[in-house]
Amino acid sequence: MRSQARRDELVVAYARWVIRWRWPVLLAVALAAGAAISGGRYTQFIASYKYHFGPENPQLAAFIDLENTYTRNDNLLFVVAPTEGDVFQPEALDAVLWLTEQGWQLPYSIRVDSISNFQHTWADEDDLIVEDLVEDTEGLGPEELDRIRDVALAEPLLRGKLVAPDAKATGVNVTIQLPESGGEIEATAAALAMVAELRERHPALRIALTGTVALSNAFETSAQGDIARLVPLMGLALVVAMVVFLHSLSATVVTLLVTVLATATGMGLSGWLGIPITAISANAPTIILTIAIANGVHILVTMTKEQERGLEHNDALVESLRLNWQPVFLCSLTTIIGFMSLNSSDIPSFHDLGNMTALGVASAWVYSVTLLPALTSLLPHPVKTRRARGGPSMERFAEWLIVHRRGVLASCVAAIVVSVALIPRIEINDMFVRYFDPAMEFRQDTDFTSANLTGIYMVHFSVGAGEDQGVSEPGYLERLQGFATWLREQPEVSHVSTLSDTMKRLNKNLHGDDESYYRLPENRELAAQYLLLYEMSLPYGLDLNNQIDISKSSTKVTATLYEISTREMLAFTARAEAWLRDHTPEAMHTHGSGLTTMFSNLAYRNVVSMLGGTGMAFGLIALILMLSLQSLRLGLLSLVPNIVPTVFAFGVWALLSGVVGMSVGTVVASSLGIIVDATVHFLSKYLRARREQDASSEDAVRYALSTVGSALWITFLILIAGFTVLSLSTFKMNADFGLLVAITIACALVADFLLLPTLLMRLDRRRSASRA
């Protein structure tokens, strides 16, 4: 009691000091804000998909090792599809030839593969002829076109990969070697310019662009689009909400100024600290705008109530700061802890989101106790002595709740049980193409490619031979062919690329194109000679480094898959690895790698990594509440309404969707600090009534609801609106995150207005306030 009284005295003294020295305070705030915001000019966008994987991510490490062993896998894939007929017609082949030639001119291009420059091999007596399958379309008659079609559709390296089995579409694949500093945007912009030019040249052709480089560009496009669309939309929503709920132009202006400055300061400080913007962290401004408004709402709503009771303008402001200082500080602190716990995520982009938001929330608290009181003391804030209110008041709600508390508590417990039962129905599924809205061109082009040409999910296996030059060993090639055959039998697989197919073709060619020799060479030396002869005949840029390592001790087998779920992807990879263990010597044992396996594992890794961070945040917040409330019992009790909303939310999500992605691991931590806010405000008012007025638990609930209920209701609605705006993101990870947090906050509204009061009346029945 004494410590509380001493804190109140200090807060009152501080509030009066700010009001007295408001002009110097405003000047100091303006200077500090300007310096912080200026850091925004150092903010950088990062587009690379690899940034979403931490440096210790084992799948990323395996992928980098794969790229260091073979040609890098970053690519741009152009897809050509005639509106009528197949691709083996002059116009479509002209487009392929042009794309193949221009593909070499793209920034960072190191290889171009297409049906036109496919190195077709055939025998001319004792000579091996290696030449482009299509050199020119001029003079191509029906017989020559049929020959090109037959060769392309019979070639395992092309069919299902660069030409559709029904010949309705074909692809030109450009391998890109990006510099460490990026280059995705530059390369994609040049590729899009090629697409635009080709569409003008051949309006009868459908041209699409996809690939991993285009994927990285889509991350940045989505991030910039969200900033351009969602931040203004969120600002408009906040203005409307404040005008409707605060009924005061001056209160709206002050709260909006604090909110905007907090957002700009958070982003500026992020720039000073070198925190980049990605598709995930791009939504930090929207989140900060949503959260930062809460402090101003609580202070100004309480001030209005004190004025309604007859206090003068500045006295009401001082009293509001006295009542709200501790809960506002605790709410800001717990929110910061919640978002800082995102640093335990396995995804660096979530680290950035958490740190940016934490900086914005800290800035909002500073402005709320400096700028807000100084500016509010200058602006008029007229209110009626007792304003009429429409609808049921908080006092009436409190009376209803007290009368029906047993039924309300039983209903809440039943809802918790049902929610817990529904949660196991939720499935983790992360298909990276579906991160993007169907309205985005990248998503449309990728879906078109998947439906008409080839799968877009690939798993790579670096299969060792156990010795240098070992890839020519017949036993190794036989087992490699066995693995490829097994892969092709799997229902998920649309195409398999393997060296053994090339070796069978070369064996046939060097036996006079005799089809009976379309099999693997039986002699190691002969196989090595075939391989050497073929490599020496290949033109620059079309060597076998994308399939064979430099010492010829391993080869890469690539399985291209249809669109499947994360669970199915992991199951397929596990089956493939098990087949290698069961049917090949140890040197050939390997793990599946590639972009697909990286994203498939990321969701599970993120959930596991966030368990520790979220648990630590829960424990730290619980300790803070126990110390600040000076009550072990109420501190522990406060955990219930902070945990239950997440349980409710995931139960609702199981009914609405049933599918979550890698953002699920961060929802609990992000929403934790937010939903604690209401609990802190309610319990602080509840304890004031118990301790200062010696009120019973029922009367303390009445007091808490009457003093803070309206502010909590307004804050909850604004928070729900803000995160609902985030659900409009074109990036599914952000959209799901926003919607799930909005649902969690809505469930927190139920928990704090129904469950918490009834629990207090049930478990805190002692009359003596001194022991509360």
The per-residue pLDDT for range 237-256, each reduced to its tens digit, is: 777 877 777 777 888 888 88
Q: Which of 33-37, 173-177, 441-445, 761-765 has the lowest mean pLDDT?
A: 761-765
Q: What band does 390 get if pLDDT is binned at 50, 70 and 90?
A: very low
**DSSP code string of 72-98:** ---EEEEEEEESSS-S-SHHHHHHHHH
In the chain, the largest separation of any two C-alpha atoms, in whole Å, equals: 108
Q: Which of 75-84, 97-106, 585-594, 680-689 has the lowest mean pLDDT?
A: 680-689
Nearest-5° Cα angle at 684, 682 to 690 = 100
Radius of gyration of the chain (CA): 32
Q: Which of 182-186, 432-436, 553-557 has the lowest mean pLDDT?
A: 432-436
Residues contacting residue 672 through CB under 8 Å, at least 6 positions apart: 334, 338, 341, 614, 617, 618, 621, 642, 646
Helices (H), 280-381: 284-308, 313-340, 348-369, 371-376
DSSP secondary structure code for residue 275 in this structure: P
Containing 128, the helix (H) or strand (E) segment is strand 127-132
Other CB atoms within 10 A of residue 166 CB = 10
Q: Which of 105-109, 265-269, 713-717 has the lowest mean pLDDT?
A: 713-717
Mean pLDDT over all residues of the chain?
A: 87
pLDDT mean over 391-397: 73
Residue 577 CA: distances (Å) to CA of 285, 467, 581: 44, 21, 6
Residues found in the chain: 772
DSSP secondary structure code for residue 276 in this structure: P
The per-residue pLDDT for range 628-673, each reduced to its tens digit, is: 877 788 878 888 888 899 899 989 988 888 777 777 667 877 787 7
The per-residue pLDDT for range 449-496, each reduced to its tens digit, is: 999 999 888 999 999 999 999 999 999 999 999 999 999 999 999 999
Q: What band does 2 get if pLDDT is binned at 50, 70 and 90?
A: low
Q: What band does 380 get if pLDDT is binned at 50, 70 and 90?
A: confident
Q: What confidence score (pLDDT) does residue 549 get? A: 92
Residue 167 has pLDDT above 90, yes or no: yes
Q: What confidence score (pLDDT) does residue 384 get? A: 58
Helices (H), 370-509: 371-376, 394-403, 405-422, 441-452, 474-489, 499-509
CA pair distance 574, 576, nearest whole angstrom: 5
Among 221-230, 497-506, 595-604, the range with the most confident prediction by mean pLDDT is: 497-506
**CA 510 and chain centroid, separation:** 52
Residue 402 has pLDDT above 80, yes or no: yes
CA pair distance 643, 628, nearest whole angstrom: 19
Q: What confidence score (pLDDT) does residue 765 get? A: 65
CA pair distance 572, 563, nearest whole angstrom: 12
CA pair distance 594, 55, nearest whole angstrom: 16
CA pair distance 495, 173, nearest whole angstrom: 15
**CA 286 and chain centroid, separation:** 15
The per-residue pLDDT for range 323-340, each reduced to its tens digit, is: 888 888 988 998 899 889
Specify burial of residue 399 (Cβ count, 10 A radius: 0-12, 13-18, 19+): middle
Specify burial of residue 67 (Cβ count, 10 A radius: 0-12, 13-18, 19+): middle
At residue 280, the 3 state secondary structure works out as coil
Contact 681, 332 (CB under 8 A): no
To the nearest 5 percent, what fractions of the chain are helix, strand and coil? 65, 10, 25
Residue 172 CA: distances (Å) to CA of 79, 457, 508: 6, 17, 27
Q: What band does 387 get if pLDDT is binned at 50, 70 and 90?
A: very low
Tokens of 201: 């040249």
Contact 640, 759 (CB under 8 A): yes
- Report the candidate in 708, 759, 738 with the shortest Cα–Cα distance to residue 226: 738
Residue 15 has pLDDT above 50, yes or no: yes
Q: What confidence score (pLDDT) does residue 587 get? A: 94
Residue 385 has pLDDT above 70, yes or no: no
- Report the candidate in 523, 524, 546 with the shortest Cα–Cα distance to residue 468: 524
The residue among 264 and 52 whose pLDDT is bigger is: 264
pLDDT mean over 724-739: 84
- Residue 503 CB-half CA count within 13 A: 27
Q: Which residues of 310-319 are buried (b: 16+ CB within 10 A; e: fewer)?
A: ebebbbbbbb
Nearest-5° Cα angle at 407, 403 to 408 = 85
Residues contacting residue 717 through CB under 8 Å, at least 6 positions apart: 241, 245
**Residue 294, strand partner residues:** none
Q: What band does 383 get if pLDDT is binned at 50, 70 and 90?
A: low
**CA 405 and chain centroid, separation:** 41
Give percent of the chain with pLDDT exceeding 90. Answer: 44
The 554-561 sheet, strands edge to edge: 457-464, 554-561, 493-497
**DSSP code string of 747-763:** HHHHIIIIIHHHHHHHH
- Report the candidate in 206, 205, 208 with the shortest Cα–Cα distance to residue 191: 208
Q: What confidence score (pLDDT) does residue 770 get? A: 44
pLDDT mean over 586-607: 87
CA pair distance 32, 26, nearest whole angstrom: 10
pLDDT mean over 345-369: 92
Phi, psi of 496 (to 5 degrees): -130, 130
| Angle, helices 313-340/348-369, rounded to nearest 10 degrees | 170
Look at the block and give the residue holding tokens 């960072």: 108
Q: What confidence score (pLDDT) does residue 274 get? A: 92
CA pair distance 88, 48, nearest whole angstrom: 36
